[in-house]
Amino acid sequence: MKDKKNFYLTTAITYTSGKPHIGNTYEIVLSDAIVRHKRQEGYNTYFQTGTDEHGIKIEKKAKEAGLEPKAYVDKVSAEVKRIWDLMDTSYDHFIRTTDEYHVKQVQKVFKKLYDQGDIYLDYYEGYYCDACESFFTESQLVDGKCPDCGGEVHLAKEEAYFFKLSKYQDRLLQYYNDHPEFIEPESRKNEMINNFLKPGLQDLCVSRTSFKWSIPVDFNPKHVVYVWIDALINYITGIGYDVDGHNGELYNEFWPADVHVIGKDIVRFHTIYWPILLMALDLPLPKQVFGHPWLLMGESKMSKHLGNVIYADDLVEMFGVDAVRYYLLHEIPYDNDGSITWDLLIERINGDLANILGNLVNRTLAMSNKYFGGIVEDRGVSEPVDEELKQTALNMVPKFNKLMDEYKLAKAIDEIFVLLRRTNKYIDDTTPWVLAKDESQKDRLATVLYNLTEAIRFAAITLESIMPSTSKKILDMINTDQRDLLKLDTFGLYQSGTKVTDHPEVLFARLDPKEVMAKVEKLNPPKPVVEKKKTPEITIDDFGKMELVVGEVVKCEKHPNADKLLVSQINVGEETKQIVSGIADAYKPEDFVGTKVIVVNNLKPAKLRGVESQGMILAGGKGKKLKVATADLPVGTIIH
């Protein structure tokens, strides 16, 4: 049975479609900070992360890369792990959904649910988003697009297994009511209730036959398991869950999870599909699902398509691991999206880390070495100003702990900096350089430097979960073994008479904005401006040679040898012409029939990929945004 002092946290497993950007990386850093703090509080923690490696999107990406799917995901998974390690994250287990144990358990789960009637075979017809690998009903679409990613959807029909979500709907809603803390922030819970549970759950399609790169349904191998069922089960297979009841020690010790840390865009999968799946397996539900906000680039979501992606390793090379961790954890609020800009990064590093934190530590160490040969001693010569510093330190700790336990890390960090600012002000209030000129004030000067060092110790211990390397450097430089968070209820435990380092390290150097922006330009060189070729002028006589006529598409089908081409039969009045056009990305053959288009009617016939084309359709744009020119005029009308 799980002990109250055990704490199990998981991240969402990272999809192996490509290298994770800094927005993806935020989640592992956030989770690491939460777990590190729990360890400081005395919990026995288990921290799991990993990679999600199946699905049609991976199959396509591997093909584009000229690799077999397994070789492709091996490469991407290794890159994910490299970045997680680079960010100094202290996970206990990195699971991959291609791990043999996981694959076997997913198959056994699927079979168990089928045998007990929670999964059944039928046909599915609906709108499918390739990017999200999800089916949607028409009512769930937003402006005809995928409600999750905003991408294109297409009608699809296939034989599939279904999971009876509807059977558990009322039970799930009751669970929400009985466990109000289950979904955080609360706004995410309201979305699930209003958008999915109240309208009524549809049974979930949980298998595919249209691709192969996934876990096979072992009793019907033409089907593969839906990627989200596969992915969600990792939270229990990774700690040794066994369908047959032979669970590993980790499962018995740590399940149910204390929190699943996930992005706000996948809350539905984790708070509807996942708890219902666990109910069907008769397993305890996780205690909480925390749907964190996004990190935006300026005001836009990061996207390779938009060209605004930043990667963690590039940031680390420029600013260092702890500076990047600090920025991520401080700039993303609990329930609102955060933003990353180069200007704000520089401001935070120069202002918070170099000036407030780094300068405080270095000034204090420098004065201890200058005035006392590095010996820090409490000589008990106190003044009223000391009490304010001590109370600020003592009050900071419970506030910090509470906010960390509520996953409000940005506010928790602010509490540390309240202490750091007050400690800097304490230097101004006590003016050690003035005290040093008066031999009779030497004991008072020693006490001031002791109080400064002790306040720094408080800050450094609480910073361990945020900036672990920086925390250790500070505690090492003040040469203390008093590093227990739980003992920060007494001011004055720093060992009097300790010698601090005489070679203090500069924790954070101030950045020159011009130098940083020069590096940024090298990182993202501006794309060369391609001069548009000037279209040669034509005369009215040239234009007069072209006959433009209104035609109506009476038949349309895909080109037999080219995915991007459609072959249309177009009535132009006196005859029907066959025209081949590169519009398949934007138009489905069945939707194009009946469209009135403008045709270049006297174009010399030509063969396109083996099929004759007897004209041209006027169109503009590119890819899915391409539009044909239409005309609300009778068929055969000449355009002048």
Tokens of 299: 């005001």
HEC string of 361-387 equals: HHHHHHHHHHHHCCEECCCCCCCHHHH
The pLDDT value given to residue 500: 98
616 SS3 class: strand
Confidence category of residue 299, pLDDT binned at 50, 70, 90: low
List, by residue range, all CATH 2.40.50.140 domains of the chain. 540-639
The yes-or-no verdict on residue 387 having pLDDT over 80 is yes
Q: For residue range 394-413, what is the model confidence (pLDDT) as tens digits?
A: 999 999 999 999 999 999 99
The pLDDT value given to residue 43: 98
**CA 190 distance to own-chain centroid:** 22
The yes-or-no verdict on residue 306 having pLDDT over 70 is no
The pLDDT value given to residue 302: 64
Q: What are phi and psi of 37, to 5 degrees?
A: -65, -40
Mean pLDDT of 214-230: 94
DSSP 521-543: HHHSPPPPPPPPPPPPP--HHHH
Count of all residues that appear for the chain in the document = 640
Mean pLDDT of 315-324: 97
Mean pLDDT of 318-337: 93
Mean pLDDT of 103-129: 94
**CA 352 distance to own-chain centroid:** 25
The pLDDT value given to residue 324: 97
Confidence category of residue 592, pLDDT binned at 50, 70, 90: confident
The yes-or-no verdict on residue 141 having pLDDT over 90 is no
The yes-or-no verdict on residue 304 having pLDDT over 70 is no
Q: What percent of the chain has pLDDT over 90?
A: 70
The yes-or-no verdict on residue 620 having pLDDT over 90 is no
CATH class label, 6-118+164-292: alpha beta
Look at residues 51, 63, 66, 47 and name the one whose alpha carbon lies nearest to residue 19: 51
Q: For residue range 235-261, what is the model confidence (pLDDT) as tens digits?
A: 999 999 999 999 999 999 999 999 999
Sign of the dihedral through C-alpha 289, 295, 299, 301: negative
Tokens of 505: 């390290």
Output the average pLDDT for the chain: 92
Pick the residue with more confidence: 575 or 524? 575
The yes-or-no verdict on residue 20 having pLDDT over 70 is yes
The pLDDT value given to residue 140: 80
* Cα(479)–Cα(76) distance, integer angstroms: 41
Q: For residue range 519-536, what is the model confidence (pLDDT) as tens digits?
A: 988 887 766 655 656 667
43 and 7 Cβ atoms separated by less than 8 Å: yes
Of 134-143, 294-303, 331-340, give the lowest mean pLDDT range: 294-303
Beta bridge partners of 14: 51
The yes-or-no verdict on residue 181 having pLDDT over 90 is yes
The pLDDT value given to residue 528: 61
The yes-or-no verdict on residue 565 having pLDDT over 80 is yes
* Cα(313)–Cα(523) distance, integer angstroms: 12
The pLDDT value given to residue 529: 56
* Cα(243)–Cα(104) distance, integer angstroms: 10
The pLDDT value given to residue 150: 82
Q: For residue range 164-178, what is the model confidence (pLDDT) as tens digits?
A: 999 999 999 999 999
List, by residue range, all CATH 3.40.50.620 domains of the chain. 6-118+164-292
Tokens of 107: 């198959």
Look at residues 36, 101, 365 and name the one whose alpha carbon lies nearest to residue 244: 101
Name residue 23's amino acid: G
CATH number of 355-499: 1.10.730.10
Mean pLDDT of 342-362: 97
Mean pLDDT of 369-376: 98
The pLDDT value given to residue 612: 87
* Cα(542)–Cα(109) distance, integer angstroms: 71
Q: For residue range 51-109, what is the model confidence (pLDDT) as tens digits?
A: 999 999 999 999 999 999 999 999 999 999 999 999 999 999 999 999 999 999 999 99
Name residue 324's amino acid: V
The pLDDT value given to residue 318: 95
Beta bridge partners of 569: 555, 578
The pLDDT value given to residue 2: 72
The pLDDT value given to residue 526: 63
Tell whether 556 is in a known binding site. no
* Cα(148)–Cα(266) distance, integer angstroms: 8
Pick the residue with more confidence: 370 or 133? 370
CATH number of 540-639: 2.40.50.140
List, by residue range, all CATH 1.10.730.10 domains of the chain. 355-499
Q: For residue range 439-472, what is the model confidence (pLDDT) as tens digits?
A: 999 999 999 999 999 999 999 999 999 999 999 9
- DSSP code of residue 312: H
Mean pLDDT of 275-292: 97
**CA 583 distance to own-chain centroid:** 34
Confidence category of residue 187, pLDDT binned at 50, 70, 90: confident
The pLDDT value given to residue 623: 65
The yes-or-no verdict on residue 147 having pLDDT over 90 is no
Pick the residue with more confidence: 134 or 390? 390
Of 42-46, 58-62, 584-588, give the lowest mean pLDDT range: 584-588
Mean pLDDT of 264-271: 93
Distances in Å between the Cα of 72 and the Cα atoms of 68, 84, 161, 414 are 6, 19, 28, 42
The pLDDT value given to residue 322: 98
